[in-house]
Structure 1
Amino acid sequence: MKKVTYSPPFLRSAAIWVLLALNAPMIAMANEDAEMSSIKNDPLTTMFEMFRWEGMIASFFVILASWVVLRFADRVVEKLGSVFADRRLLIQKISAFFHFAVYIATIFSVVLLSFKISKEILVILSGTGAVALGFALKDLAASLMAGIMIMFDRPFQVGDRINFGDQYGDVIAIGLRSVKLQTLDDSTVTIPNNMFLGQVTSCGNYGVVDMQIMVDFHIGIDQDVVKAREIIQEVAANTRFIYLPKPIKVIVSQVVIDSCVALRLRLKAYVLDTKYEKDFETDITLHVMKLFGENGIQPPAILHRQVEKPYLINETDTKQPVSV
């Protein structure tokens, strides 16, 4: 015979409430862990957690200090270049390398101070965000790599006078992203570094202060070319902008200018400093043209001669001169 035990309803309810009360802390901890897990798996939250907000202020002061240092360095380089003119290019090269070092150190410092490098961040950066950032910074990355190649390959240097496309002037800075060129009309042109990899660049002095200058003069074919050549050589040798350790040459050739045959005398000489290029050319031209006038050396002109045509026969069977 079975024994049946009857439990009143209120006893069963009380037992359930007791069990819930005993397990309440464990249920709360499980819910909290689930919430933390969901938060950690949220990319937006992870992105916010990657920033060190206290390091942002330090990064600002690092950038400000770098700017002050670079400004001070530029002023020092400018003063040293004016005092030591023969070492001006060397000082500018050292300044370019110093700028590179400051840029790289500043970037690394800001990244380390402002971001928390963790596995989650590396995963995020290696995903779609990194791809999007790579496309956005494609041209910038190309310019950065090109700038490094320019610094090591050295097709030109800071202080060189170059001809790139339709731009002609002095290289005043080689940066991480671009090259700054100061033209002869005192304009500053900024050219991205990656453009120099696919185009031809002509450098006039390549690391030295002096540079070869060509000045052309034209005279008639019936003029005293020997005297004209002597005048050009003498004027070039006595100008105050000439660099005498290198040779002075005057090359004579026959050319056609506006259907007129002329003699071209091309002076090839070296100016003392690239910054005197136009002063050198102006001084040479003024003195040569003055001496040409004093010695009666005339510019090119169409000549009218008396020529005798051997096959033009008149009634008396004699040759007659014909004016042409």
Structure 2
Amino acid sequence: MKDETAKFITELFSDSRLLVALAVIVAVWLFTRALQKLAEILADKFSRYRLFISSLFPVLRLLTWLIAIPAITFSILEPPMNTVLAITASAGLAIGLGAQDLIRNLIAGILILFDRPFRVGDMVKAGDHYGEITDIGLRSVTLHTFDDSYVTLPNSMVLGQAVSNSNTGELDEMIVTELLLPAAIDTQTVREIAWEAAACSPYVYLKKPITIIVEDHFDFTFLTRYKIKAYVLDVRLERLMASDITERIKQEINRRGLLPQAEANKSLQATGPLPATPAPAEKSTP
């Protein structure tokens, strides 16, 4: 077996098979890069199907390499079976001793691609990080936060913890905008303002309902918490919609003068009624 292995290695470096194999590997890598670029172009052109198109690329890339590597090994290099078994056993031993984390991430990456707890384009919260999944590789997952940072998370870490998925393959997602206001403001009026602000936002997805939740809250004083639940057209616009709804509500409340009146009522309730001012005494005439 050692003679066959030595003969194969000598022949491999003496003829052009190694160069052909390297050329095919480079061609496959260029093909996957072109496939990625095509997916990005199609996702930008057909924005409504962006998540579906983006989620196909990681699976196609994995299948491409799974087909290319055996084809290069057995069609171009053509090693003897004894050599394949010897190299496989040696590589398995070396990998098992020195690359346990890598193997763990590879297995987790394959499970993520086929089990699909999330896809490219999903808004995911993993640990302290929240953002859009931009890439799912065999070793790690890339997450793009709203602070324009790219966070790389090992697949084994992602698969081993609780992951919150906000949209699960859908382009729209529910956005909850919270607002704390003094308890003295009329609740019905604020509910109407909040619903109208959400419905008029250019980022809202009106095919799904808008819900207003009202809760009591105490923080040094009595407050009312308003939760405006509405769906955004595109997951990338969630912060813009939350900011737009908050701005519209505050502008309308200020325009109607609700906050100053509420503060005046609160101060009156705290201090009680003012004492009556005594009438001035009449001067007696001499």
Partner of 1:305: 270
Report if the CA contact (8 A) 2:175-2:231 is conserved.
yes
Instruction: Check if 1:284 corresponds to 2:249.
Output: no
TM-score, normalised relative to structure 1: 0.74
Distance 1:124 1:234 in 2: 68
SS, match of residue 293 in structure 1: helix
1:32-66 CA-partner distances (Å, limit 9, x unpaired): xxxxxxxx758xx9468447223221121112111
Report if the CA contact (8 A) 1:250-1:267 is conserved.
yes
RMSD (CA atoms): 2.6
Greater Cα offset, 290-299 or 83-92? 290-299
Partner of 2:279: none
Distance 1:194 1:100 in 2: 18
Instruction: Check if 1:116 corresponds to 2:83.
Output: no
Partner of 1:246: 208
Q: Residue 109 of structure 1: CA displacement? A: 3.6
Partner of 1:269: 230
Q: Residue 162 of structure 1: CA displacement? A: 0.5
Distance 1:265 1:49 in 2: 74
Partner of 1:60: 22
Partner of 2:106: 144
Q: Residue 125 of structure 1: CA displacement? A: 4.3
Gaps of 5+ in 2: 274-286
The residue correspondences of 1:80-229 to structure 2 (distance < 5 A) are 80-112=42-74, 113-114=76-77, 116-119=79-82, 122-123=85-86, 125-126=88-89, 130-229=92-191
The change in CA–CA distance for 1:123 and 1:74 in structure 2 (over 3 A counts) is closer
Q: Residue 110 of structure 1: CA displacement? A: 4.2
Distance 2:107 2:87 in 1: 25
Larger radius of gyration: 1
SS, match of residue 259 in structure 2: coil
Q: Residue 106 of structure 1: CA displacement? A: 3.2
The change in CA–CA distance for 1:124 and 1:233 in structure 2 (over 3 A counts) is closer
Report if the CA contact (8 A) 2:58-2:113 is conserved.
no
Tell me how many residue pairs correspond in the alignment: 266
SS, match of residue 298 in structure 1: helix
Distance 1:162 1:55 in 2: 45
The change in CA–CA distance for 1:100 and 1:120 in structure 2 (over 3 A counts) is closer
Q: Residue 260 of structure 1: CA displacement? A: 2.4
Q: Residue 139 of structure 1: CA displacement? A: 1.6
TM-score, normalised relative to structure 2: 0.84
Q: Residue 307 of structure 1: CA displacement? A: 6.1
SS, match of residue 157 in structure 1: coil
Partner of 1:30: none
Gaps of 5+ in 1: 1-39, 309-324
Q: Residue 305 of structure 1: CA displacement? A: 1.7
SS, match of residue 126 in structure 1: helix
Which is bigger in relative contact order (C-alpha 8 A, separation at least 6)?
2
Partner of 1:295: 256
Greater Cα offset, 73-82 or 50-59? 50-59
1:246-287 CA-partner distances (Å, limit 9, x unpaired): 110110001122x22210001110001111111111111111
Query: Percent identity at matched positions?
Result: 33
Report if the CA contact (8 A) 1:50-1:117 is conserved.
no
Greater Cα offset, 188-197 or 282-291? 188-197
SS, match of residue 170 in structure 1: strand
- Matched AA of 1:169: G
